[in-house]
Amino acid sequence: MISMNKVSKHFGTFQVLTDCTTQVHKGEVIVVCGPSGSGKSTLIKCVNGLEPFQSGEIIVNGVSVGDPKTNLSKLRSTVGMVFQNFELFPHMKIIDNLCIAQVKVLGRSLEQAREKGSKLLERVGLREQAEKFPGQLSGGQQQRVAIARALAMDPICMLFDEPTSALDPEMVNEVLDVMTELAQEGMTMMCVTHEMGFARRVASRVIFMDQGRIVEDDSKEAFFQNPRSERAQQFLAKILHH
């Protein structure tokens, strides 16, 4: 579904990504981890063209992201994305956050959109919050809304960019629960996260990045039991001891 081939990116002389190559098949859940500044977020933003890259190729569902002829808006409407800081639209009610792109991008009627939106809110347990504004919700609730908003577009795959990093610890699980459920239903997902419990539960593969390179790309069992690179061993030792 997503295939990356030797993707490289630099800001000026600073190399952010170097020859990143990987595949994500339908139904797979890929967890991307690594130290900060390793290029994880940049990599995931390249998938839907939010970050341009200079060389290499990314194919999403048969469409080349880097091709200047590609209609990026259309491609993005099929790829859901959830951000670290939720990025709900603060001036719209929750339900309108879920409806706006359905109506303006997919051309659904407002009625259809609201029905779909209500169902998804129900699913993330926030039906009662539909008429509130994002600023009136807790971080965990906002992130669940953000996931519902992405799902409202019926995406073929979902990208998560550190979805729990900005949350209070007690709200992390409500978001991970929604993500886990989604993974179990067979959604294709690419998640940048440090939640190794989540990775152990649902990941098909783990990608470990360091200094803009994909250092490990392996099944979760192999990654957690005996990571091959020294850098990954150090990383795991640091984040798993508690």
Partner 1 sequence: MAYNWNWGVFLQPTATGDDTYLGWMFYGFKMTIALSLSAWLIALAVGAVVGILRTVPNKLLAGIATAYVEVFRNIPLLVQLFLWYFVMPELLPEQLGNAFKQTNPILQQFLASMVCLALFTSARVAEQVRSGINSLPPGQKNAGLAMGFTLAQTYRHVLLPMAVRLIVPPLTSEFLNIFKNSAVCSTIGLLELAAQGRQLVDYTAQPYESFIAVTLAYLTINVVVMFGMRWVEARVRVPGYIGAK
CA angle 83, 85, 89 (to 5 degrees): 90
Q: Which stretch binds partner 1 (CB under 8 A): 26-34, 43-51, 192-200, 217-225?
A: 43-51
Q: Which is nearer to partner 1, 38 or 41 (CB)?
A: 41
Count of beta carbons in the 10 Å neighbourhood of residue 212: 22
**CA separation, residue 114 to residues 50, 82, 134, 152 (Å):** 28, 20, 17, 10
Which one, 160 or 223, has the nearer CB to partner 1? 160
**CB atoms < 10 A from the CB of 232, how many?**
22
Which residue from 83, 1, 11, 2 is spatially nearest to 54, judged by alpha carbons? 11
Asked if residue 136 binds partner 1 (CB under 8 A), the reply is yes
Nearer to partner 1, 2 or 215 (CB): 2
Nearer to partner 1, 105 or 240 (CB): 105
Question: Taking the CA atoms of the chain, what radius of gyration do you get in angstroms?
Answer: 18
Among the listed residues 17, 29, 34, 45, the single contact to partner 1 using CB under 8 A: 45
* Contact letters for partner 1, residues 149-178 (x by CB under 8 A): xx--x-------------------------
| Phi/psi at 164 (5° precision) | -115, 5
Of the listed pieces 57-65, 67-75, 167-175, 222-230, which binds partner 1 according to CB under 8 A?
A: 67-75
Contacts with partner 1 by CB under 8 A: the residue count is 33
- Letters for 73-112 (x = contact with partner 1 by CB under 8 A, - = none) are xx-xxxx-x-xxx-xxxxx--------xx--xxx------
Q: Which is nearer to partner 1, 135 or 169 (CB)?
A: 135
When asked if residue 48 is in the footprint of partner 1 (CB under 8 A), the reply is: yes
What residues from 177 to 206 belong to the interface with partner 1 (CB under 8 A)?
Answer: none
Footprint on this chain of partner 1 (rule: CB under 8 A): 45, 48, 50, 72-74, 76-79, 81, 83-85, 87-91, 100-101, 104-106, 132-137, 149-150, 153
